[in-house]
Amino acid sequence: MSQEKEPRRRFLRQVLAIVPATTLGGTTAVAVSNIASADAPEPGKARAYQPTYFNAAEWAFINAAVDHLIPSDQYGAGALETGVPEFIDRQMETPYGAGKLWYMQGPFHTDLVPELGYQLSLVPRDIYRQGIAACNDWCTKNLGKVFADLDKAKQLDVLKQMEGGKIAFDALPAKTFFSFMLGNTKEGYFADPMYGGNQKMGGWKMVGFPGARADYLDWVDQYNVKYPYGPVSILGEKG
């Protein structure tokens, strides 16, 4: 099925890329936006995905954790249905995941005030691997089960304790692990869907962001009037 759709998507991408910017009206994005997602999942669920970096236990942890960070609720889609775990897994395979965007030469001074910035020697791939293992160890010792197997209320409590730095891990500060996971979860929820998260532009719809439309000359002077169009993505999906 996806084989039929892919050439058309690629074609539209190329067309979009060669249209002179000055001729792109707000309607252009609408015109190309009737493209169905190649592998449409069930309503309320992210598309199927096999993680590349995370192992099964880690994948279970990530899925359980992000559901608390951005739950599905009355305000809109949540992290699970928008594919945030897929986003995080795919980010691990990028230069960011490998810490290649950061200055990583030592010595590492880890006892300074937080205002002087990140000073650990760990890169995102390490932070997740060691953070998940440490949290699962802590949960097993103190609560008898790994994080993903705990009931929801206990999971929530563990996350709050990590955020507040009330749990101490040997491998890395629990707070650091939590803040990376939260930051990446929000990125996945709000970044363009081509990165794996924000599926069906659920994150953008939650907040009311029109995505890659990026052309509002016709609406600047519409004071206090709701913008009427839903989001479009970089690859031309319509929300």
Partner 1 sequence: MAIKKDKVDVVMVGLGWTGAIMGMELTEAGLNVLALERGDMRDTNTDTPYPKAVDELKYSVRGALFQDLSRETVTIRYGVADTAVPYRQHGSFLLGDGVGGAGFHWNGMMYRNLPEELNMRTHHEQKYGKKFIPEDMTIQDHGVTYEELEPFYDFSEKLMAVSGKAGNLKGKIVAGGNPLEGARTDEFPTKPLQYQYSASLVEKAMRDVGYHPYPAPAANASEPYTNPYGVRLGPCNYCGFCENYGCYMYSKASPQTTILPVLLKRKNFEVRTKAQVIKVNLDASGKRATGVTYIDAQGREVEQPADLVLLTAFQTHNVRLLLLSGIGKPYDPVTGEGVVGKNFAYQYNGGINVVMPKGTQFNPFIGTGAGGVGMDDLNADQFDHGPLGFIGGASIRHVRYGGRPIKQTGTMPGEKVPNWGSEWKGSVQDAYQRTLTIGMSGSVMAYRDCYLSLDPTYKDANGQPLLRMTLNWKENEGKMLTYIAGEMEKVGQAMNPEKVVKAVRKTGSSWDTRVYQSTHLTGGAIMGTTPKNSVINKYLQSWDVPNVFVYGASAFPQNMGYNPTGLVTALAYHSAKAIREQYLKNPGPLVQA
- Does 171 bind partner 1 (CB under 8 A)? Our answer is no
Nearest approach, Cβ of residue 43 and partner 1 (Å): 20
Residue 188 amino acid letter: G
Per the structure block, which two tokens stand in for 215? 């052309």
- Does 206 bind partner 1 (CB under 8 A)? Our answer is yes
Q: Which of 45, 75, 152, 168 binds partner 1 (CB under 8 A)?
A: 75
Q: Crossing angle, helix 152-163 and helix 56-69, to 10 degrees? A: 80
52 CB neighbour count, 10 Å cutoff: 10
Long-range contacts of 137-145 (CB under 8 A, 24+ apart): 138/167, 138/169
By C-beta, is 12 or 137 nearer to partner 1?
12
In this chain, which stretch among 2-10, 48-56, 132-140, 183-191 interacts with partner 1, using CB under 8 A? 183-191
By C-beta, is 95 or 144 nearer to partner 1?
95
Separation between Cα atoms, residue 206 and residue 194, nearest integer Å: 18
Nearest approach, Cβ of residue 104 and partner 1 (Å): 7
Q: Which of 5, 47, 68, 129 binds partner 1 (CB under 8 A)?
A: 68
- Does 118 bind partner 1 (CB under 8 A)? Our answer is yes
By C-beta, is 17 or 48 nearer to partner 1?
17
Q: How many residues bind partner 1 (CB under 8 A)?
A: 63
- Longest Cα–Cα distance of the chain, Å, equals 62
| Residue 85 contacts residue 200 (beta carbons within 8 Å) | no
Where on the phi/psi map is residue 112: left (φ > 0), alpha (ψ -120 to 50), or beta? beta
End-to-end CA distance of the chain: 21
| Residue 79 contacts residue 66 (beta carbons within 8 Å) | yes
In this chain, which stretch among 37-45, 127-135, 165-173, 209-217 interacts with partner 1, using CB under 8 A? 209-217
Q: Which of 104, 144, 145, 168 binds partner 1 (CB under 8 A)?
A: 104
Residues that bind partner 1 (CB under 8 A): 16-17, 19, 21-22, 24, 29, 68-71, 73-76, 96, 100-105, 107, 109, 112-119, 163, 182, 185-187, 190-192, 195, 203-204, 206-210, 212, 214-217, 219-227, 234
